[in-house]
Amino acid sequence: MTSCPALFISAPSSGSGKTSITAAIARSQARRGRRVRVFKTGPDFLDPGILARASGQPVYQLDLFMGGFEHCQALLAQGARDADLVLVEGVMGLFDGDPSSADLAAAFGLPVVCVIDASAMAQTFAALATGLANYRPGLRHCGVIANRIGGVAHGRMLGDGLPANLPLIAALPRNPALALPERHLGLVQALEQPGLDAQLDAWADAWVAALRPGFTFKAVPFETPAQPPLAPHLRGRRIAIARDAAFGFLYEANLDLLRALGAELRFFSPLRHEPLPEAEAVWLPGGYPELHADTLSAHPTLPAALARHLDAGRPLLAECGGMLALLDELVDADGKTHRMAGLMPGTARLQPRLAALGLQAIDWPEGPLRGHSYHYSSLETPLAPAAIATNPNGGSTAEALYQRGSLRASYLHHYFPSNPEAIAAFFHGHGN
């Protein structure tokens, strides 16, 4: 059992400022020399990049469906052992989704604070805050954060309306200059924001100035589950992994699992036209190939190298954007057609509206896996699906898994810890 101060940052809805507040707290604490570990609720790739820059530590996703209770418990316990403060950012509104942020906070007894956009509120702020605090018995609400207030008097009025057991922790003024840039999948990736560190420092300054006297982080006990060690099934296997602005959707837990299985990870950047490393397996993760299609299609050696890799019967996993990069064609949001690697028959088209969103469960030949889907493109391919995913919440998103020789491709972002044995078998090449 490990005890560590912790805070769960949620909100009534998306867009309230959870990420900026969480990043501000993390950066302000890190600047004081405190070790901060931040976690993100649910399957999100973009917010964790911002939070990792703010804290100076890798950020892991916590999802009770994708990873399960014991996996999330182990991640939190490890983080608590290495930290002076644990922060968990929620997803959407506090009670939205299944599993929800509230489910996660309740499962681990985390103190909850809600960030409320107060820019168009007066006394209703207190009604909303108390409603969130009382809606589900058993949650440990420790206060409220008012975001985007109009001034000192506005902040004072908001605080005066709250009950004594739900204090106003901080009231941050509206400042459009501190807003983060966004695109069709969410925030612009941290590695694409050259001014991010200065912005994080400005957020931290704003947090320190807005924090009310007397607030302290509450200690939480974190229990470490008993987990058998993984067998090194991938010892001696090299896995080449694309990683840059076009292929940036990588779960830290996936990378950790591959290393724990004994694999040597060899990263390369297709955008910088780096060659494919010598490897027994390849992983092309998701990202934004549609924003870099001209550069990717001009790579002088990668398509041929991947073709030789597949001809040799070696495993290649292509997820979402990684799959788009292997197609015959990719039509971007402006209607321009780009020739891609031509290793998977088909065409993908970007569209202005969301095409798919949801948690997913799918049966690989090696065993069941879990993950999620989130994309704005649609795919036309003559390939018949090898499997079709299901949505645990009954949503319409049900992604196909395509298999062609040793190529495994899907819109799914797979969460490898959901079945380590299946992942080990695929990347080792069993059955290919």
- CB neighbour class for 252 (10 Å; exposed up to 12, middle 13-18, buried from 19): middle
Considering the domain architecture, whether residues 419 and 304 belong to the same structural domain is answered as yes
Residue 179 has pLDDT above 80, yes or no: no
Considering the domain architecture, whether residues 43 and 139 belong to the same structural domain is answered as yes
In a domain, 353, yes or no: yes
Please give the average per-residue pLDDT across 135-153, as a whole number.
95
What was the pLDDT predicted at 224? 93
CB atoms within 10 A of CB 168: 24
What was the pLDDT predicted at 432? 46
Structural domain ending residue among the three candidates 154, 187, 222: 222
Q: What is the pLDDT of residues 155-175, one digit of tens each?
A: 999 999 999 999 999 999 987
Please give the average per-residue pLDDT across 367-378, as a whole number.
96
- CB neighbour class for 136 (10 Å; exposed up to 12, middle 13-18, buried from 19): middle
Please give the average per-residue pLDDT across 379-387, as a whole number.
97
What was the pLDDT predicted at 44? 86
In a domain, 229, yes or no: no
What CA–CA distance (Å, rounded) separates 26 from 247? Answer: 26
Give the active site residue among 4, 114, 142, 320: 320
Q: Enter the tokens of residue 81.
A: 């052992």
In a domain, 227, yes or no: no
In a domain, 314, yes or no: yes
72 included as an active-site residue? no
Considering the domain architecture, whether residues 266 and 160 belong to the same structural domain is answered as no
Q: Where is 102: in which H helix or E strand? A: helix 101-107
In a domain, 424, yes or no: yes
What was the pLDDT predicted at 46? 83
Looking up residue 27, the CATH number of its domain turns out to be 3.40.50.300
Considering the domain architecture, whether residues 21 and 134 belong to the same structural domain is answered as yes
In a domain, 230, yes or no: no
Q: What is the pLDDT of residues 306-355, one digit of tens each?
A: 999 999 999 999 999 999 999 999 999 899 999 999 999 999 999 989 99
Structural domain ending residue among the three candidates 222, 255, 276: 222
Per-residue CA distances from 284 to 63, 244, 306 (Å): 23, 11, 11
Give yes or no for a contact between 277 and 263, defined as CB atoms under 8 angstroms apart.
no
CB atoms within 10 A of CB 235: 11
Considering the domain architecture, whether residues 78 and 205 belong to the same structural domain is answered as yes
**Which of 269, 277, 221, 226 has the alpha carbon at shortest distance from 247?**
269
What was the pLDDT predicted at 132? 98
Tally of domains within the chain:
2
Structural domain ending residue among the three candidates 189, 222, 255: 222
In a domain, 367, yes or no: yes
Residue 431 has pLDDT above 70, yes or no: no
What CA–CA distance (Å, rounded) separates 397 from 358? Answer: 6
Considering the domain architecture, whether residues 209 and 247 belong to the same structural domain is answered as no
Q: What is the pLDDT of residues 215-257, one digit of tens each?
A: 999 999 999 998 888 999 999 999 999 999 999 999 999 999 9
Q: Give the rounded percent of residues in the chain with a pLDDT score beyond 70.
A: 95
Considering the domain architecture, whether residues 201 and 282 belong to the same structural domain is answered as no
Considering the domain architecture, whether residues 217 and 276 belong to the same structural domain is answered as no
Q: State which residues form the domain around 124.
A: 2-222
What was the pLDDT predicted at 45? 85
Q: What is the pLDDT of residues 31-65, one digit of tens each?
A: 999 999 999 999 988 889 899 999 999 999 999 99
Looking up residue 386, the CATH number of its domain turns out to be 3.40.50.880
Considering the domain architecture, whether residues 258 and 215 belong to the same structural domain is answered as no
Q: Give the rounded percent of residues in the chain with a pLDDT score beyond 90.
A: 88
Considering the domain architecture, whether residues 57 and 198 belong to the same structural domain is answered as yes
Please give the average per-residue pLDDT across 375-404, as a whole number.
96
Considering the domain architecture, whether residues 297 and 243 belong to the same structural domain is answered as yes
In a domain, 228, yes or no: no
Considering the domain architecture, whether residues 295 and 211 belong to the same structural domain is answered as no
Q: What is the pLDDT of residues 405-418, one digit of tens each?
A: 999 999 999 999 99
